[in-house]
Amino acid sequence: MSDYTHQLRFFADRIDGGAASLAPAIRVIYVVAGSARINGADCDQGAGMLIEGAAEIEAGADAQLARWELVPIATPFSNPMAGIGESLNKRTDFIHVPGPETGIRLDTVTFPTGTRAYRHSHVSCGIRYILRGTLEINSDHGIDLMEQGHAWFEAVDETVLAIASETTETQFVRMMVLPADYHGKLTITYVDPADDDKPREQINNRLLDEIVQIG
């Protein structure tokens, strides 16, 4: 697709302690470890927050955040979080958001040992981030082993088979950009219709499901 409208950026922040001011964006933050104060609200480990606009982030030592930013395609890159610790821009992907509104969803997906997500696609796109364990991703682009700290992008309608570790539980957190009319609905379609009737062993915990205006 050549008509990209936005950048979807993903950062992994490991904070030494301090505060940072971030420029306006559609931004989702998930607290991986520790706690943070975001625009005056306290967020503990496992919590997620959607911010539309500027963000003021304060955190103590050893806080870890997963952070997604959806910005217009021509937005200059900036990362003030690098001033208060280690902040890695692990991915920047270019996407098409038709507007004037879109859905934003944040959830965690937990795979018990040795389970899988049958080959499927989503009507959404988004970036996933491994919190623990490993996940073998069989996609249209080949096979990749995702380990703790790895991030990857899945495009709209991209088919994926995900196979979890045989030795330990696996969990990732993902932020998806989805059509507004899928608010509150499943975005998944299985390639083989027979897989619809198979038990789902992975556990999904939806943290945010919101509609935002993108102008």
Closest CA to 30 of 101, 126, 99, 166: 126
Strand partners, 71: 7
pLDDT of 1:
45
Name the CA dihedral angle for 154, 150, 10, 88, rounded to a multiple of 10 degrees: -160
With contact defined as beta carbons under 8 Å apart, do 161 and 142 qualify? Answer: no
How many Å apart are CA 166 and CA 178, to the nearest integer?
A: 31
Integer Cα distance of 178 and 170 in angstroms = 24
Class of domain 6-96: mainly beta
**Considering only CA atoms, which of 142, 141, 115 is closest in space to residue 199?**
115
What are the start and end residues of each CATH 2.60.120.10 domain in the chain?
6-96, 102-213
pLDDT score of 27? 98
What is the predicted pLDDT for the residue at 2? 65
CA 157 to chain centre: 17
If one looks up domain 102-213 in CATH, what number appears?
Answer: 2.60.120.10
The pLDDT score that the predictor gives to residue 140 is 87
What's the rounded Cα separation, in Å, for the pair 88 and 14?
A: 9
User: What confidence score (pLDDT) does residue 117 get?
Assistant: 96
Q: How far apart are the first and last CA of the chain?
A: 21
- For the four alpha carbons of 2, 5, 213 and 49, in that order, the dihedral sign comes to positive
- Reading the chain (215 residues) residue by residue, the pLDDT tens digits are 469 999 999 999 999 999 999 999 999 999 999 999 999 999 999 999 999 999 999 998 899 999 999 999 999 999 999 999 999 999 999 999 988 999 999 999 999 999 999 999 999 999 999 999 999 999 988 999 999 999 999 999 999 999 999 999 999 999 999 999 999 999 999 999 999 889 888 999 999 999 999 86
- Please tell me the distance from the alpha carbon of residue 50 to that of residue 47, in angstroms, as a whole number: 11
